[in-house]
Amino acid sequence: MISFDSLTLKIWLEQNKEYLTDARVQKIQQPTRRDFIFSLRNLGETKKLYININPQYYHVCFMNKENEERRLITIPAQPPMFCMLLRKYLENAKIKRVNQPEFERILEFYIETYNELSEKIYLCLAIELMGKHSNIILYNYDTNIILGCAHNVGAEKSREREMAGGLPYVYPAGRPNSWYEGENSLANNNENDINTLIDDYYSNCIYKDKISRMKEHCRQIASVILKKDINSLKKINDRLDKEINSDKYRLYGDLIMANLYNLKDYQKYVLVYDYENNKEIKIELDAKKSLKENANNFYKLYNKSKKSILKLTELSEHLNSQIEYYNQILYSIEIGNSIDDFLEIQAELEPENKIKYDKKSAVRPLEMYIDGCKVWVGRNNRQNDYIVSKLSRDEDWWFHTKDCAGSHVLLRCPQPSDSLIFECAKLAKEYSKAKDSSKVGVIYTKRKFLKKPPKANLGYVTYKCEQEIIV
């Protein structure tokens, strides 16, 4: 990770000082606690000054439109209090002078504005880019009193330098005595435009970090649900094992009814001959009930057990499909490599939160050509569903790994050769959890033999007339 050192800030300020001086602050936005965007107007153009005081990615630069989108900036409906304070004092104000205290990672904007009494006042916006101590402070230049900070610093956090409204502003202790240039500093680059370097490098870092965070968030949600379903399935299977012997209740009832003529009522047990298994068995009875009542009781237990088995079997099938579904989601999470991928997965995992993503610009299934024929590969359930529901035609060929989470592969070719089928099967293996296995079965069939059951999970299909190839 390249740190934003004092020499980089010095070079950036030298290259942009002309634009910043006499620039007017048109708009101030604060997307998060650590992100600020100042829309500045000067020299006939408007630029967006981006300030980040995240301990990992602290920096300042002018953003281009592409990198603004990569940062996934979302403006909250209700701006934070510090943003409101900055708007109150700085919007429509003019930056009269910019400065960097010698050797410091501090950028100062000296701003001319007016107070509530229409009196001209001078304020200073100090942007401190110092790792975990990064902060933005607005103070009155004449009185040196702080009006507000992005992060207040109390005595419990720092004995040497408290930062809060009403306190005097002081520079950090231990002033450096030379320009600091970190290892792999951007200041070492020979490019003329250091702003572009800063913008590209940090937007890429922030983009990767957001992908990593979204990936972990999605993985945690899917893993928790999957673990819960696996535990539930185990309990249901245990109950099924107990209920599976329900046929013995029917047998007991039948044997008692068949021997009513030679057995006595109100006994603790009876010995009868089991003609089905050719042996004599002992049946425990309720001594307070007659033989007929005991037989009816066994029939009731048998009917109850049959209903339980039916219900438990349904639950077991449902849980098995859910486990398969979430295993598929976990696979999609592992191969996801863009924000759009994870927005689609999040929308699937958290429908109640109504995750917003642009369906038109969302990542489409991977497209490629093999031997001149078009092939699509879905990388998550939404894309798999899109392949089957929207893209496919009856005579297209569908490929998927057997009994293994993986991508749907669709081949558009009326009469594919054996080599083309094998290439698509290899593609299905490559985009599956079994990609590292020495052998895996891949099933394939025509699209017309696929069916999506009603209310089925995204990407789930049933098939027939399939063939299998070992890859």
Give yes or no for residue 399 having a pLDDT over 90. yes
Predicted pLDDT of residue 354: 56
What HEC string does 240-257 produce? HHHHHHHHHHHHHHHHHH
Instruction: Enter the tokens of residue 25.
Output: 């602050």
What would the pLDDT profile of 141-169 be if each residue is shown by its tens digit?
999 999 999 999 988 887 788 999 999 99
Cα–Cα distance for residue pair 347/382, rounded to 1 Å? 10
Residue 371 to residues 301, 395, 401, 413, 417: CA-CA distances in angstroms?
64, 18, 22, 10, 10
What would the pLDDT profile of 349-378 be if each residue is shown by its tens digit?
887 665 555 554 455 788 999 999 999 999
| Domain layout of the chain by residue ranges | 6-188, 212-335, 364-470
Cα–Cα distance for residue pair 133/168, rounded to 1 Å? 18
Give yes or no for residue 111 having a pLDDT over 50. yes
Predicted pLDDT of residue 361: 47
Predicted pLDDT of residue 74: 85
What would the pLDDT profile of 230-253 be if each residue is shown by its tens digit?
999 999 998 888 777 778 888 888
Q: Residue 93's CB: how many other CB atoms inside 10 A?
A: 17
Give yes or no for residue 47 having a pLDDT over 50. yes
Helices (H), 28-105: 65-70, 81-90
What would the pLDDT profile of 299-339 be if each residue is shown by its tens digit?
998 888 888 888 888 899 989 989 999 999 999 999 888 88
Predicted pLDDT of residue 198: 94
Predicted pLDDT of residue 190: 66
Residue 21 to residues 198, 286, 424: CA-CA distances in angstroms?
21, 99, 60
Give yes or no for residue 340 having a pLDDT over 70. yes
pTM of the model: 0.74
Predicted pLDDT of residue 32: 93
Burial class of residue 147 (count of CB atoms within 10 Å of its CB; 0-12, 13-18, 19+): buried
Cα–Cα distance for residue pair 467/422, rounded to 1 Å? 12
Question: Higher model confidence: residue 357 or residue 269?
Answer: 269
For residue 78, give the DSSP letter.
S
- In DSSP notation, 342-382 reads HHHHHHHH-GGGT----TTTSPPPEEEEETTEEEEE-SSHH
Predicted pLDDT of residue 246: 78
Q: What is the mean pLDDT of the chain?
A: 90
What would the pLDDT profile of 3-21 be if each residue is shown by its tens digit?
789 999 999 999 999 999 9
Query: Do 471 and 440 touch, CB atoms closer than 8 A?
Result: yes
Task: For the chain, state the CA radius of gyration.
Answer: 35
- DSSP H or E stretch at residue 300: helix 291-335
What would the pLDDT profile of 167-221 be if each residue is shown by its tens digit?
999 999 888 888 887 777 888 776 678 999 999 999 999 999 999 999 999 999 9
- In DSSP notation, 206-243 reads HHHHHHHHHHHHHHHHHHHHHHHHHHHHHHHHHHHHHH
Residue 161 to residues 5, 33, 169, 340: CA-CA distances in angstroms?
22, 21, 9, 43
Q: What mean pLDDT do residues 416-432 have? A: 93
Question: Higher model confidence: residue 457 or residue 137?
Answer: 137
Q: What percentage of the chain exceeds 90 in pLDDT?
A: 58
Q: Residue 123's pLDDT band (boundaries 50, 70, 90)?
A: very high
What would the pLDDT profile of 55-72 be if each residue is shown by its tens digit?
999 999 999 999 998 888
Q: What mean pLDDT do residues 465-469 have? A: 93
What angle in degrees, to the nearest 10, is found between the helix axes of 339-349 and 194-243?
Answer: 30
Predicted pLDDT of residue 21: 96
Question: Looking at domain 6-188, does it have CATH number 3.40.50.2000?
Answer: no
- DSSP H or E stretch at residue 201: helix 194-243
Give yes or no for residue 125 having a pLDDT over 90. yes
Predicted pLDDT of residue 355: 57
Task: Give the contacts of 276 (CB within 8 A, at least 6 positions apart).
Answer: 251
